[in-house]
C-alpha cells in the first residue's frame, strides 16, 4: 500500500507540473527536463484535461527519464489538425521517437506517414488506430493499449449480476470518434443483449468523457425514466462521477453506477459506496509500455508490434482497495 501511495504521489506531482505548463500555451512544448540527455522522445497527448491520460503520460515520463532520456510534451487540446502539426514539429526538431495518444483514431494516416517518411519510430498508446486491422500495422509503428471491448464485457456482466438479470440501464459514451468509446459501448450491448434479455437499454448518449456533461445528461435521464433507471454504465470514471453527482442531488441511491479506468476518485467512490465497480485500465502498463517500446527501437531492438495490457474489474472487495 505504501508503494501504491508513493506512486500516486508521484503521478499527482507530475500532473500538477504538466498542467502548470499547459497554462502557458496549449500549443507550447513542455520539456520534462533541462539537462542534456542521450535521446529525446516527443509525446503528443490528446488533452492535458483528460485525467486518465495524464496518468499514462506520467508513467511514460518516469520510464523515459529512468532510461536516461528526455520527454517533450505537446497538448493537442482534442484538435486533430493541431496534433498533426505538433508531430511535424517534433520531426523537424529531430526527436528520436514519438508517442501519440490519438485525438481521432480514424484520422491518423497523416501522422503515421509523416513518422515513417522521417524514419522515426512511432508508438500509439491507449487509443488504437488499427482496431480490427492489427495485422496491417506498418513497419516502425507500434501500439500499446488494452482491448477495449473487454472493458465493456466486464461492465455488462457485473451490472447484469447486480440487477439479477432485470431492469433498465443507460450508457454514458465517450467521444464518438474514439475507439475506446465505441468498443466499450459495443461490449456493454453484446453482453446485455445476449446474456440478460430482460435488461432494457433505456438510453445512450455521449458525454465526451466529461464529468459535467455526464451530470447534465443523468439529470435528464432521472426525470425521463424515474424508477425505470436502475443502472448507469459509463465509458470512463469521469463520466461515472458526473452521474453520481446528479444521482446524489436527486437522492437516488438505488442506481448502480459503473465506470472504467479505476482512477483515484473512482476507487474512492467505490470505497464510499457511491460507485458499484470500475474496470482497471493500467495507466502504468500503458504509458510505461509505450515508452519501453520506443526506447527498445531507438536502441536497435525489435519490439512487438502490439502490446496488450489486460483490464481488471474492481469492486469493494478488490485487493487494490484494501
Number of domains in the chain: 2
Q: How far is CA 56 from each of CA 52, 219, 220, rounded to the nearest angstrom?
A: 7, 31, 33
Is 4's pLDDT higher than 70? no
**In what helix (H) or strand (E) does residue 3 lie, and over which residues does it extend?**
helix 2-22
Q: Which percentage of the chain shows pLDDT scores above 90?
A: 84
Question: Among 96, 128, 8, 77, which Cα is nearest to 295's?
Answer: 96
Please tell me the pTM assigned to this model.
Answer: 0.74
Q: Which candidate, 185, 181, 187, places its Cα nearest to that of 203?
A: 185
Q: Render pLDDT for 78-110 as a digit per residue (tens, 0 to 9).
A: 999 999 999 999 999 999 999 999 999 999 999
Would you give the DSSP letter of residue 137? P
Residue 32 resides in a domain: yes
pLDDT reported for residue 300:
96
Domain limits at 204? 148-280
| Residue 99 main-chain phi, psi, to 5 deg | -120, 130
For residues 287 and 58, the answer to whether their CB atoms sit within 8 Å is yes
CA 234 vs. chain centroid, Å, equals 13
Band of the pLDDT at 139, cuts 50, 70, 90?
Answer: very high
Residues 160 and 206 in one domain: yes
Predicted pLDDT at 322: 77
- How many CA atoms lie less than 13 Å away from 24 in the CB half-sphere? 10
CATH of the domain at 9: 3.40.50.2300
Same domain, 207 and 289: no
**Strand 167-173 relative to strand 141-145, pairing:** unpaired
pLDDT, tens digit, 9 for 90 and up, residues 267-298: 999 999 999 999 998 999 999 999 999 999 99
Instruction: Please indicate, yes or no, whether residues 106 and 56 belong to a single structural domain of this protein.
Output: yes
Helix (H) / strand (E) element for 56: namely helix 51-66
Q: What is the pLDDT of residue 320?
A: 84
- Does any domain span residue 317? no
* pLDDT band at 11; cut points 50, 70, 90: very low
Q: What is the mean pLDDT of residues 214-240?
A: 99
* 206 Ramachandran zone, left/alpha/beta (phi>0; psi -120 to 50): beta
pLDDT for 28 equals: 41
Does 321 map to a domain? Answer: no
Question: Are residues 142 and 205 located together in one domain of the fold?
Answer: no
Model pLDDT for residues 295-320, shown as the tens digit of each residue: 999 999 999 999 999 999 999 999 98
Residues 173 and 243 in one domain: yes
* Shared-domain flag, residues 220 and 90: no
Whether residue 315 is contained in a domain is answered as no
Amino acid at each position: 500500500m505504501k508503494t501504491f501511495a508513493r506512486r500516486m504521489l508521484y503521478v499527482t506531482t507530475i500532473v500538477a507540473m504538466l498542467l502548470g505548463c499547459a497554462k502557458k500555451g496549449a500549443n507550447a512544448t513542455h520539456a520534462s527536463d533541462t539537462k542534456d540527455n542521450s535521446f529525446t522522445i516527443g509525446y503528443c497527448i490528446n488533452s492535458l484535461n483528460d485525467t486518465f491520460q495524464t496518468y499514462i503520460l506520467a508513467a511514460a515520463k518516469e520510464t523515459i527519464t529512468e532510461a536516461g532520456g528526455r520527454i517533450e510534451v505537446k497538448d493537442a487540446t482534442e484538435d486533430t489538425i493541431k496534433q498533426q502539426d505538433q508531430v511535424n514539429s517534433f520531426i523537424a526538431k529531430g526527436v528520436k521517437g514519438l508517442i501519440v495518444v490519438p485525438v481521432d483514431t480514424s484520422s491518423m494516416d497523416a501522422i503515421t506517414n509523416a513518422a515513417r517518411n522521417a524514419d522515426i519510430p512511432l508508438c500509439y498508446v491507449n487509443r488504437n488506430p488499427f482496431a480490427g486491422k492489427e495485422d496491417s500495422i506498418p513497419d516502425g509503428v507500434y501500439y500499446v493499449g488494452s482491448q477495449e471491448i473487454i472493458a465493456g464485457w466486464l461492465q455488462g456482466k457485473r451490472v447484469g449480476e447486480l440487477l439479477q438479470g432485470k431492469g433498465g440501464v443507460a450508457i454514458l459514451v465517450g467521444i464518438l470518434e474514439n475507439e475506446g468509446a465505441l468498443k466499450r459501448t459495443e461490449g456493454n450491448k453484446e453482453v446485455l443483449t445476449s446474456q440478460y434479455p430482460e435488461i432494457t437499454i433505456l438510453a445512450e448518449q455521449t458525454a465526451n468523457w466529461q464529468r459535467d456533461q455526464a451530470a447534465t445528461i443523468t439529470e435528464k435521464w432521472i426525470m425521463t425514466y424515474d424508477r425505470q433507471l436502475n443502472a448507469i454504465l459509463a465509458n470512463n470514471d469521469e463520466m461515472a462521477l458526473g452521474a453520481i453527482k446528479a444521482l446524489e442531488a436527486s437522492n437516488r441511491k438505488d442506481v448502480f453506477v459503473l465506470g472504467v479506468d479505476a482512477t483515484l476518485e473512482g476507487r474512492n467512490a467505490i470505497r464510499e459506496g457511491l460507485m458499484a465497480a470500475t474496470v482497471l485500465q493500467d495507466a502504468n502498463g500503458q504509458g510505461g509500455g509505450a515508452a519501453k517500446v520506443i526506447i527498445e527501437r531507438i536502441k536497435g531492438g525489435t519490439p512487438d508490434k502490439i502490446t496488450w495490457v489486460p483490464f481488471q474489474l474492481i469492486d469493494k472487495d478488490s485487493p487494490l482497495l484494501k
